[in-house]
Chain A
């Protein structure tokens, strides 16, 4: 930490991050609406801060031990009664403190940006509503689960979250159809929300677009925390040219976004989730730095990050169960050869290690007003910091013990 401050690393990082954030705020256009601009700013700022901070932390962490070994400063420490684990934790804590500081700066900037958007838009206007009801809040994303249809009606179950916020007063139902042609006439549809007791809570008739994403506002007064409601949908027969039936998009399930809290708390949770990921990068950097010399350590650490990110495209898309989905019914399954068998098990192994690291995605959620629950933050802290960080710490301590440091030259 002291070294980072001394080398003006913190100052440079601070200036870089602030320039990025201000640059985005000044140049981003969005889709021409205030809500769109704010969403873009949040999305890009979170993404850029994650990348810049991640790279900087990795660089700093790789150099923290390896350069000290190289310039023999570490020798002065290791001859004292300091355990390897204390040394590792000390280095890691210093780096994550810098990261925490930077995240706090980014957080303040984004909170101010949200406040500015709030003040610049009129609450009753379409733009003002969009800013308040779609961006500056936290909403639980409940994926609707399709249940058997009744004649003429499609139905889903939706589980409401344990807490429902009364402001804004609406939840948003999102759905998409498969459209065989572009710009077909709108379809007349009927939606109902039915409570667990079978009583109709909410019903609405409206026109839905065959293309794009349809959104329907459902008053939250009709939803109760923790209960399971049923959504019911039917197409109104029409004499016009509009379609008489629709097919829901298989890749975009029906979703309900239910307000659960405010923007600022969600921003804090989002930043904490980012912090967990960055803390893991710091742990990786410090550990790799104990094994390799400085520039090599950076290359190794960056390569590991890049390979991990790529596995989501390679390993996850070629996993054995994914392939079995493509097997046609009635075909005899061939016994896999040893190459395929090894590849499958390697993929499963890599995925087992990598999946938890990639699970906690941040980008896009804050901008879309989707909540990051505390449970997820706790889980991420437990897995990324304590489990993976602990494993990396153990590796580093082992490596330090095996390296012959502080021996006479």
Chain B
């Protein structure tokens, strides 16, 4: 027995080493092929050690663990025990850091589902912020080239904070406004010349608001002047970032988010508080040309009939709202653009008849 081992042991060992070397020769070409065909599966480059460890060491098993953690999260949520959810979401996303849907789900879950379970406004706001942070501070870090993650983040700003579907939306707006004002100044406007000379402040804006000052300046130049205290301004910023990474292919959801948010900023994006501390939202009329631009950019980029309907609705609605606010000049401008681009029998009757007809409706 011993002699057989001696006879066969060394050749077997040599064969094993040889086979390993041959396998190693295929390693680099395989990695390159994977990078080209599956760019989403490229190795993580700047991830923290814990994430690299879990993704490499656990290999395929991490999917099973992620499922188990997800099941626990669902069970706890159903049972009204929300304490662990942030932790579990953190672990699940770290186990599958390149799956955008997982980031999107957990952020949405915290910002939308869990937040409304909280009886106290402060707690609700904390959960909405957890959702924002998960995407902004971590999700984007691991998926910087996926426009969907920017869209998901923008959606929380546009809909959860900027919209009125949540009973406490005014509270969120107030909190967000105060948070931004503490960093950008009471008016929520940015003086980029001053900012250029203060690297500390730029870093603070990047760390605490997730905003890159150079890109803010570009967004402000294209769509502004934006009041960064208003959540929709951030929706525009994140959608713009999404379009940036989408490149020439574009990403309709982000383009749509830009024109929708711009329309909302124009119609009720001027935020203030009355003497009783109640939120007052007014039209930010300066933004009208920028809204036109946002719509027309999108129309020129995508071939989707629904986009024309959206533009028609905006122009008609804006004409009416401006007329009701006594701003005939802007109201006429909206109407003229509507008639110019989408002439109908209704618009052919002229501005006054159009407004009168729509007002009756």
Contact = CB atoms under 8 A, between A and B. Distances in A.
How many chain B residues sit at the interface, stated as a range, is: 20 to 34
Interface stretch (B78-86, B174-182, B238-246): B78-86
Contacts of B80: 176, 212-213, 252
A36 interface: yes
B336 interface: no
Given A126-B122, A183-B167, A185-B167, A30 B116 contact: no
B90 A30 contact: no
Contacts of A33: 126
Interface residues of A, number: 26
B83 A211 contact: no
Interface string B56-99: 00000000000000000000000010111111001000000000
B86 A31 contact: yes
Nearest to B80: A213
Contacts of B90: 29
B52 to A, nearest CB: 15
A29 to B, nearest CB: 6
A183 B291 CA distance: 32
A250 interface: no
Contact of B87 (A29, A183, A208): A29
Interface in A59-95: none
Contact of B117 (A27, A43, A212, A252): A212
Contacts of A215: 119
A32 B167 contact: no
A176 B78 CA distance: 12
B117 A29 contact: no
Contacts of A176: 80
Given A27-B50, A185-B167, A39 B117 contact: no
Given A27-B50, A31-B130, A32-B126, A209 B83 contact: no
Contact of B83 (A27, A39, A212, A252): A39
Contacts of A211: 116-117
Nearest to A40: B87
Given A176-B80, A212-B117, A214-B119, A28 B167 contact: no
B83 A31 contact: yes
B146 interface: no
Contact of B86 (A29, A183, A208): A29
B122 A40 contact: no
B166 interface: yes
B84 A40 contact: yes
Interface string A311-338: 0000000000000000000000000000
Interface string A294-319: 00000000000000000000000000
Given A31-B85, A31-B130, A183-B167, 9 more contacts: A27-B50, A30-B83, A31-B126, A126-B122, A182-B113, A209-B117, A212-B116, A212-B117, A214-B119
23 contacts: A27-B50, A29-B87, A29-B90, A30-B87, A31-B85, A31-B126, A31-B130, A32-B86, A32-B129, A36-B83, A36-B86, A40-B83, A40-B84, A43-B84, A126-B122, A182-B113, A209-B117, A209-B118, A211-B116, A211-B117, A212-B116, A213-B119, A214-B119
